[in-house]
Amino acid sequence: MTGDNIAPEMNGFQAFFESWLSEQDQHLQDLIIASKQHQKRAADDDDRVLLSSLVERVVKHYEQYYNKKSQWAKQDVLRMLSPPWRSSLEDAFLWIGGWRPSMAFHLLYSKSGLQLEASFAELMRGLRLSTGDLGDLSHCQLTMVDKVQRRTIEDEKHLSEKMAKLQETVADATLVELAHEATEMMRNNEVHEGGADDHMERVESTLASKEEGLEKILHKADDLRMKTLRNITQILSPLQAVHFLIAAAELHLRVHDWGKKKDALSH
């Protein structure tokens, strides 16, 4: 695909991303309403089915994002790794084009601690009833979360190492030689179209192989992000999964907003 065709496609993905954010905000409202309706009463089977259906709908929404992202990455993986539609604040915390999978566990523990702290007074008086939120994580759940977290960190480390090795190939012999040839052509004022075109074809061919490597790593990173999200929500009860997805959406949307505002002030 030519460069002229890539730009509209990338603009198309940005439009998709903005629409996806609006949908995520609507899902957040749905999750909040569900948590308020179910948190303070014992959920029957019908309640659990409704909550599970909502959780699955939100998780599928994340899958939709990664499926679209994978399609566009085949056209321009570089922009998908450093998306211009994200803020500078978000860029600073990107890991291989997205959020670090292990961050999901920190989010879970942070929200669990906050919800436990919110009911600490009742707990001390012995009056606290089970609320079914993330403050009620059982020992069995914590054990399962810890197991998944350890495995996720290992997978994350493996991908980070693969990314580092690929990044080091920017200084391999082929590119170093091509960079030297380009410098010599500029110094000697060589403007022969044939030679310059041939050189650029070799550059493009060499970079293309590296971009293919980047695309594969990005795909694996996105798979790990999605796998982590599914693993956590499957360990949690439907109501706990609702609270986790609320925390995830709130953090994502607010950091995006804060970053956009910071960028606007700096221009």
Identify the pLDDT of residue 39: 57
Give the residue, 55 or 9, on which the prediction is more confident. Answer: 55
Residue 24 has pLDDT above 60, yes or no: yes
Residue in the structure block whose two tokens are 């290992």: 154
Give the pLDDT score at 182.
Answer: 87
Query: Residue 121 pLDDT more than 70?
Result: no
Residue 157: pLDDT band with limits 50, 70, 90: very high
Across the range 222-251, mean pLDDT stands at 97
pLDDT at 153 over 70: yes
Separation of alpha carbons 134 and 201, rounded Å: 56
The pTM of this model reads 0.88
Residue 144 C-alpha from the chain's centroid: 22
Residue 267's pLDDT band, with cuts at 50, 70 and 90, is confident
The pLDDT score that the predictor gives to residue 40 is: 54
pLDDT at 1 over 90: no
Percent pLDDT > 70 in the chain is 88
Q: What is the mean pLDDT of residues 7-18?
A: 77
- Higher-confidence residue of 129 and 159: namely 159
Q: Looking at the chain, how many residues does it have?
A: 267
